[in-house]
Structure 1
Amino acid sequence: MLATELIVLEGEDIHHPGRGVQLGCYVLTTMAMQSLLRGFGSEAVDMAQGAFERAKGQAAHQRAAAMPSGVFTRSVGMRLAIVGTAHLQARNLDQGLELGNQSVDILARVQSSRAKDYVREFNTALAPWRREPAIREFIHRTRTELSIAA
């Protein structure tokens, strides 16, 4: 059994079915964030993928969109940016860009300099693909929706 699977299983709650999946995925994405910040991009991607596989159909951005403004939305948006950055560092542009867009969707409703710092890091990780139209469009989107300088 993978360590990520064990962590998710530890989050299971027999008294509240389904809540354990959310808790386990939250733990994994938090661990992915910490791994990325400490320079372990590959491990961060593994943890993020473990969380994704366990929670198929329960996308974080959908849960955040249903929450009142300011209630965990910032942390979800930051985690999406961080995990997206890990995907970019692993040269997985499509998955990284998808997570980056989800992050901007959420963070456009939040005022947080720390959250913007994570999106700036994400934008920096896009450097190898800067000339692609989708990347230029994303950078423009972060400038207009989050007021992030290029």
Structure 2
Amino acid sequence: MTRIQKTVFILVALIALVVGLTVSKVLNSQRQLDPTQLLDAGIVVLPQSRTVPSLSLTDQDGEAVKLNELDGQWTLLFFGYTFCPDICPTTLAELRQLNGMLPDAVRDQLRIILVSVDPNRDTPEKLKEYLGYFNAGFQGLTGPLDDIQTLANGVGIPFIPGDTS
């Protein structure tokens, strides 16, 4: 493993750990979170949820999923792709591990979704096969690149579509 790969692995592991601990704390908290403590930990809690664009994407089973159906449950959107050689599988493995450490009641309130940023290659069948390797009940979404870009912009995730030629 090269030095860059080790650094990326450590960075992804730390991000996944922070996300997992934050989700656990938020879902288990019965009191108001102290914004100062969260900021000190590098976590920004928005005063209100973001409005998800009105779109319909296709899940790993080929079924249409309207994004407004994500209301009412914590949803962690992970933007990645199945041909990603290192960061995506490492992050999904970390998320699987963290998800498994959550109490059942908390785990039932959390949905983890891989949104493909490579829809030309990530068909529903490919997403289903790929997510099956993690055996964690994760959902995958794909669709037209313009819709994925709209979703990413709507939730504040910048990405530049890759050159797949």
Higher helix share: 1
- Higher Rg of the two aligned structures: 2
Higher strand share: 2
Give the TM-score taking structure 1 as reference length: 0.32
Give the TM-score taking structure 2 as reference length: 0.30
